[in-house]
Amino acid sequence: MDFSEIERHGLVLLGCGKMGSAMLAGWLREGLAPKSVWVQDPYPSEWVMAQGVRVNDVLPNAPAVVLVAVKPQMMAEALPVLQGFGNGQTVFLSVAAGTAIGTYEQMLGDKTPVIRAMPNTPAAIGQGITAIIGNGSATGADLDMAEGLLTAIGQVVRLDDEGQMDAVTGVSGSGPAYVFHLVETLAAAGVAQGLPDTLAMQLAKATVAGAGALALTAQETPSQLRVNVTSPNGTTQAGLEVLMNTTDGLQPLIRATVAAATDRSKALANG
C-alpha cells in the first residue's frame, strides 16, 4: 500500500488493544513510518511503546485517518476528544463492534467521512476477514484507503448496506468462536471413542485448520470437497448422515446460532 498520504497527515489509533496492535504490526511491517502514527490509549502495552510510534502525544491538526478501536462502552468517553476532526477531511474508520455509523455522525457531525468495519480475531495472525461500509461522506478514495489499511490483517469485503453488518457479525465476527467450539467438541468426541486427550486435541486442531485452508485455496466448492472425501457406505458417509440430518443436524443448529448472534448485534446497535 502507498502510505504517502497517511504519512503526510498522520494516522491516529484511538485504542490499541489486540485488534489495534494487530493492525499496527501489519502497517509497520509494510513500511508505514512509525512517527506518522499517534496512539491514544490509557494503558499502552510494552509492545506498542517499543514501536517508535507517538503514544498519548499531542495530535496532528488534521490526520488522514482516525482508527477507532476502543470497546463500545468506552466510546462515549473517548470519542469527544476527537470532535475537532469531525466535518472535515479526516476519515473515521471504526472497528468497534455494535456502534452504528449514525452514532459517529451524531457525535462528530453529519458531514464526517465514516467507514464502519467488522474484522474478526484471526486478524491477529493476518488471516482475518473484514467487512466495510461507508456513509454518504466517505468517497471511493476513502474506501480504497480503508481497504488498503485493512488488508494488513486479511481479506476485505464491501457491503451494500449497513444493515448487512449484523449478519456479518453473526457469521464472521462471532464465527471464530463457533469454530473453536467445533475443535473442542471434535476432540471431546475423540476422547469418548478412546483417544488420549492430547492426541484427540492435536487431531482436531490440525483437521479443522487443514480443512479450512483447503476450502480457502481449492478450486472446488466446499460441497464438492465434502463429496470428494465421502466414499459410498464408508465411514465419512456414516458420520455425515448424523451431521446432515435436516431435523437436528448441523445445518439447523448453525442457522439458529447465526440468527441468535445477528439478533444480539441488532439489539446492541439499537442500545
Total domains, the chain: 2
Which of 114, 136, 160 is the endpoint of a domain?
Answer: 160
Q: Is 131 helix (H, G, I), strand (E, B) or coil?
A: strand
Distance CA 68, CA 93 (A): 6
pLDDT bin (cut points 50, 70, 90) of residue 268 is: confident
Specify if 98 maps to a domain: yes
Range(s) of the domain holding residue 60 = 4-160
Query: Could you read off the pLDDT of 21-51 as tens digits, one per residue?
Result: 999 999 999 999 999 999 999 999 999 999 9
Residue 101: name the closest of 145, 144, 151, 159 by CA: 159
Query: Could you read off the pLDDT of 116-151 as tens digits, one per residue?
Result: 999 999 998 999 999 999 999 999 999 999 999 999
Cell of 144: 480504497
Q: Are residues 199 and 117 in the same domain?
A: no
Specify if 30 maps to a domain: yes
Specify if 169 maps to a domain: no
Q: Are residues 11 and 82 in the same domain?
A: yes
pLDDT bin (cut points 50, 70, 90) of residue 270 is: confident
Length of the chain: 271
In this prediction, residue 271 carries a pLDDT of 66
| Domain of residue 111, CATH code | 3.40.50.720
| Domain of residue 222, CATH code | 1.10.3730.10
Specify if 168 maps to a domain: no
Q: Are residues 215 and 155 in the same domain?
A: no
pTM passes above 0.95: no
Q: Are residues 12 and 126 in the same domain?
A: yes
Q: Are residues 137 and 10 in the same domain?
A: yes
